[in-house]
């Protein structure tokens, strides 16, 4: 067996977290700002989530959580229609998405300023670094919030895996998603798919609770 055929080894445990980005009703077909086939990421993400839950690894969900006058809305001079407004149906997570009871939910863009990444305007990088070294990132949308989350994580010196089969892009311009993936990889992200996780030698490690901040809320 040559080196190229050896199974990869992935450590999932106290220093590894999965970040599920913005899989909300408004970003899925029928929502206010639908990502084409955005709902198709849910079954694959659920399989990743099961793997991390079984290992006792941290699971983080981010969500857009906008006020009614958010700066990104067209009514305020921004590029997007109103979406993911706080406490509305469209801001809820996709109903089929598995959210474990101990998962952490991070709200972003809670005020008027835009925040595509959950690192923007927070001290989450500092807090996560106390426990986490590696992030696995997937969700919506590849060419916006996933991209910015991955790039910010790399800037903060996390090792980052892009869950390539668990992302979909807005594609305002054809090719935006592939361009975003190339940019993430060029900056140091590693592409991975579920079959690689399922076929890997998983090394699990015990976890300890992650500290929370005003930006991090457990599921209600």
Cβ(169)–Cβ(34) under 8 Å? no
Number of H helices, E strands in the chain: 5, 9
Pairing of strands 134-140, 159-168: parallel
Cα–Cα dist 22/61, whole Å: 7
The catalytic position among 64, 145, 165, 167 is 145
28 catalytically annotated:
no
By three-state DSSP, how is residue 48 classified? helix
| Residue linked to tokens 């149906």 | 89
| Residue linked to tokens 């590894």 | 16
Angle, CA of 28, 82 and 42, to the nearest 5°: 15
The catalytic position among 14, 22, 28, 152 is 22
The catalytic position among 14, 26, 84, 108 is 108
Longest Cα separation, the chain: 61
Q: Is 171 exposed, middle or buried (0-12, 13-18, 19+ CB in 10 A)?
A: middle
145 catalytically annotated:
yes
84 catalytically annotated:
no
Cα–Cα dist 113/104, whole Å: 23
Cβ(162)–Cβ(189) under 8 Å? yes
* Positions marked catalytic: 22, 108, 145
């Amino acid at each position: 067996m040559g080196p190229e055929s050896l199974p990869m080894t992935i450590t999932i445990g106290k220093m590894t977290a999965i970040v599920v980005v913005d899989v909300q009703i408004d970003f899925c077909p029928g929502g206010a700002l639908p990502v084409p086939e955005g709902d198709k990421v849910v079954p694959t993400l659920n399989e990743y989530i099961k793997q991390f839950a079984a290992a006792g690894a941290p699971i983080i969900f981010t969500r857009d959580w906008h006020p009614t006058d958010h700066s990104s809305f067209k009514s305020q001079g921004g590029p997007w229609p109103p979406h993911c407004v706080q406490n509305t149906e469209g801001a809820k997570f996709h109903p089929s998405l598995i959210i474990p009871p101990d998962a952490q939910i991070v709200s972003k863009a809670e005020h008027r300023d835009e925040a595509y990444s959950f690192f923007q305007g927070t001290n989450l990088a500092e807090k996560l670094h106390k426990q986490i070294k590696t992030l696995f990132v997937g969700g919506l949308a590849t060419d916006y919030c996933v991209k910015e989350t991955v790039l910010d994580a790399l800037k903060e010196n996390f090792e980052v895996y892009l869950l390539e089969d668990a992302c979909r892009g807005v594609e305002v311009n054809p090719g935006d998603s592939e361009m975003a993936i190339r940019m993430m990889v060029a900056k140091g992200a590693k592409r991975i798919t579920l079959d690689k996780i399922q076929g890997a030698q998983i090394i699990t490690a015990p976890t300890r609770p992650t500290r929370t901040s005003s930006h991090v809320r457990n599921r209600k």
